[in-house]
Structure 1
Amino acid sequence: MLFVRPGRLADLDALEHMARTAQPVLHSLPHDRRALEARVALSEDSFRTDADFPGEEFYLFVLEDGVTGKLHGTASIVAAAGYSEPFYVFRNDALIHASRELHVNRKIHALTMSHELTGKSRLAGFYIEPELRGAAVAHLLSRARMMYVAANRKRFTPEVFSLLLGVTDDAGVSPFWEAVGRKFFGRNFADIEVQSGGRSSTFIAEVMPSYPIYVPLLPESAQRVLGEPDEQALLAYEIHLEEGFETDRYVDIFDAGPVLTAQVDRSVCVRRSETRTVRAASDAAHVGAARGAAYMVASNRPGEFRCVLADLPRERGAGVPLSAAARTALNVRDGDAVRCVMLHREPDLDDSHASSEDAQ
């Protein structure tokens, strides 16, 4: 059984392999082994600490095969993006240029460098092996982060965001970078991508323009990709939308990829989840026809967060009959409380449930 758990230093070799082979580049996983080791150690400390508010914490999760022990993916949360240095993006603005004498009044699309997302919690570093990208476990790995946020609200800000890879060609060339970034840095996109460390490096403010960039002056190829996810990011894009994220007025400062934001209170893992009780193993045989929906099921012992997929009865408040493998993965016993949320929302059930909640 595949399950999500916090990463640890014992995973360093596997994480280093992912960091060096993952495409797109994972900002949360440095290529340098010493830097990566420090990153994983920070994650271990973050899970252990009793944080009362978001700060320098960094939470690294891995997708593990409970039988073989092999890792198949990773994802992370930055408690406060740009905690030590501002987090930079471009903000989509509309600038008015008008002249009474010429009877001209034009609204011009412009991009302005912004650090308004600084301090907000960020989902980052999502990577899953290519052969599993179409499987339900891809949703599990990505959205388990929001299950953790739902169970640990004080560790994160009320709004979270995620920055997705913008459009690049088969050679890794970004049309937007070629039109903007290269003009200022004079270097390849991939080189700066690795050095930026997640859009919080001082050199971004030092080199990138502080004045607005007028979009109509950019090449058509660059204009077309504004806010568009790369083909490799479509899976993450769809998963975020299902969780309740929405596109915002920001785009990535390097490749113009989309920035998605969500109010934690409105996210699926908060609004639709409920606490249920693990049932005796023998009860699993009685699920039968009542089974019918895949759920994410999470345990949240201090420092021991786990999350798996399981088929559960749709009835709210029903017990949680889990297989032996799932119980082992979650490290739970009969009578333990777990957080459950349906993996894929059903429109009819979702709408009726939303109406009842909004009426309260």
Structure 2
Amino acid sequence: MLFVRPSRLSDLDALEHMARTARPVLHSLPQSREALEARIALSEDSFKAEVDFPGEEFYLFVLEDSSTGKVLGAASIFASAGYSEPFYAFRNDALVHASREVRVNRKVHALTMSHELTGRSRLAGYYVDPALRWGSAAHLLSRARMMYIATNRKRFTSEIFALLLGVTDDQGESPFWDAVGRKFFNRDFAYVDEESGGRSRTFIAELMPSYPVYVPLLPASAQRVLGEPGGSALATYEILVEEGFETDRFIDIFDAGPVLTAQIDSSASAKNMGVRSVISRAANLQGDTYLLGHQDTRGEFRCVLADIDASASAPATLAFDAAVVLGVRDGDSVNCAPLHAVL
């Protein structure tokens, strides 16, 4: 059975392999073993900490196969993006150019460097084994984070965002980067993307244009990809949209990938989540597929997918293996949210 849980130091080897081989680069998983170990330790401390408001906490989740113990994916949450340094993105603006003399009044699409997303909670570092990318396991890994957020509100801001990879070609080159960023950095996209540390490095403000970039002056190849997810991000994009995320006023500062935002209270995981008591038995009943989450008194969190009766008044009848993975007994409570729900 696949389930989601917080990462631990025993995952270090698996996460190091993932960090070194995942494409695109996972900014929340450093490729340095020492730095990755420190990141996992920070996550462990964050889950255990008593938190009254979001700060520098970092939460790293893994997708595990309970039958093999193999880690098949990872996903994370920054409680406050850009906590130590601003988080940079381009803001879509409409600048008015007008002249009474020639009777012209036009709005021109422009991109302005902004750090308005700084301080908001951010979903990041999402990676799932390519064989699972379009299946229910991908939904489980992504939405388990939202269930954790919805049940631990003090740890996160009321609005959350995610930055997705933009369009690149078969060689990993970005048409938007070639039209804008390369002119200021004189470096390849892949190099700067990795060095940026998740869009919160001082050199971004030092080198990127401080004045608006007028979109009509960009080549058509760059204009076409504004706010478009790259091929490897399409599945993630669809999952987030189903969750209730929407494209916002911002795009990525390097490859023009989409920034999606959601109000936690309006997300599918929060709006459709209920609490049910548990009954375990040898096999699941036939029913609708739900995300089931449980957090014990020590703060240990687990999330699985299981078919249960859709009636909110009925107990959640679980197979023994699902109950064991969740760490629940008959009579315990679990949080339930439909896997697919209309907002």
Show the counterpart of 2:41.
41
What does 1:215-230 align with in structure 2 at a 5 Å threshold?
215-230=215-230
| Number of residue pairs the alignment of both structures matches | 342
Within the candidate set 341, 344, 358, 2:340 is matched to: 344
Q: Which residue of 1 aligns with 2:29?
A: 29
Q: Does 2:294 match 1:296? A: no
Do the aligned partners of 1:121 and 1:159 also contact (CA within 8 Å) in 2? yes
**Equivalent in the alignment of 1:92:** 92
Shift of 1:281: 2.2
What secondary structure, in the 3-state scheme, does the structure 1 residue paired with 2:287 have?
Answer: strand
Q: How many Å separate the matches in 1 of 2:225 and 2:134?
A: 24
Post-superposition CA distance 1:178-230 (Å, at most 9, x none) = 00111111101111111111111011001101110000000100000000000
- Give the aligned residue type for 2:316: V
One-letter identity of the residue aligned with 1:122? R
TM-score, structure 2 as length reference: 0.98
Q: How does 1:68-217 map to 2 (within 5 A)?
A: 68-217=68-217
Determine the C-alpha separation between the residues in 2 that align with 1:318 and 1:146.
24
Moved runs in structure 1, 4+ residues, more than 6 A? none
Is 1:274–2:274 an aligned residue pair?
A: yes
Aligned CA RMSD, in angstroms, stands at: 1.0
Is the 2:280–2:323 Cα contact (8 Å) retained in structure 1? no
Q: Distance between the aligned counterparts of 2:318 and 2:167, measured in 1? A: 41
The answer (yes or no) to whether the contact 2:280–2:319 under 8 Å persists in 1 is no
1:240 corresponds to: 240
Q: After the TM superposition, which of the residue ranges 85-94 and 100-109 deviates more from structure 2?
A: 100-109
Question: Any idea what the Cα deviations from partners look like across 1:159-194, whole Å, max 9, x if unmatched?
Answer: 000000000001000000000111111101111111
Give the C-alpha shift of residue 334 in structure 1.
0.8
Deviation, structure 1 residue 106: 1.2
SS at match of 1:307: strand
Q: Distance in 2 between matches of 1:152 and 1:41?
A: 20
Shift of 1:279: 1.1
Conservation of the 8 A alpha-carbon contact between 1:308 and 1:326: yes
Equivalent AA in structure 2 for residue 260 of structure 1: L
In 2, Cα distance between the equivalents of 1:36 and 1:194?
A: 15
Q: Is the 8 A contact 1:160 1:262 kept in 2?
A: yes
SS of corresponding position for 2:46:
helix
In structure 2, C-alpha distance between the alignment counterparts of 1:225 and 1:280, rounded to whole Å: 50
User: Which of the residues 323, 327, 330 maps onto 1:327?
Assistant: 323
Structure 2 residue identity aligned to 1:203: F
Tell me which residue corresponds to 1:355: none
TM-score, structure 1 length as denominator?
A: 0.93
Using the TM superposition, give the Cα deviation of residue 318 of structure 1 relative to its aligned residue in structure 2, in angstroms: 1.5
Flag the structure with higher helix content.
1
Distance in 1, Cα, partners of 2:247 & 2:162: 10
Q: Does 1:307 align with 2:282?
A: no
Give the equivalent residue in structure 2 for 1:356: none
CA distance in 1 between partners of 2:180 and 2:16 (Å)? 32
Could you tell me which amino acid in structure 1 is paired with residue 290 of structure 2?
A: Y
Opposite residue 129 of structure 1, the aligned amino acid is D
Q: Which residue in the other structure is 2:258 paired with?
A: 258
Q: Counterparts of 1:183 and 1:297 in 2: how far apart (Å)?
A: 49
For 1:313 and 1:174, how far apart are their aligned partners in 2?
47
SS of structure 2 residue aligned to 1:303: coil
- Higher alpha-carbon deviation: 112-121 or 328-337: 328-337
Q: Which amino acid aligns with 1:232?
A: S
Q: Flag structure 2 segments of 5+ consecutive residues without an equivalent.
A: none
Q: Distance in 1 between matches of 2:190 and 2:227?
A: 19
Confirm or deny: 8 A CA contact 1:96 1:107 kept in the other structure.
yes
Q: Is the 8 A contact 1:151 1:300 kept in 2?
A: no
* CA–CA distance in structure 2, aligned partners of residues 319 and 178 of structure 1: 56
1:173 maps to amino acid: E
- Name stretches of at least 5 consecutive residues in structure 1 with no aligned partner: 351-360
Q: Is the Cα contact below 8 Å between 2:163 and 2:258 reproduced in 1?
A: yes
- Equivalent-residue separation in structure 2 for 1:142 and 1:251 (angstroms): 21
What is the Cα deviation at residue 280 of structure 1?
3.7
Residue 128 (structure 1) shift: 0.4
The amino acid of 1:300's aligned partner reads Q
- Structure 1 residue 303: deviation in Å? 3.1
Does residue 8 of structure 2 align to residue 8 of structure 1? yes
Could you give the per-residue CA deviations for residues 272-296 of structure 1, whole angstroms, max 9, x where no partner exists? 00011111426x57x3xxx321100
Query: What letter corresponds to residue 11 of structure 1 in structure 2?
Result: D
The residue aligned with 1:354 is none
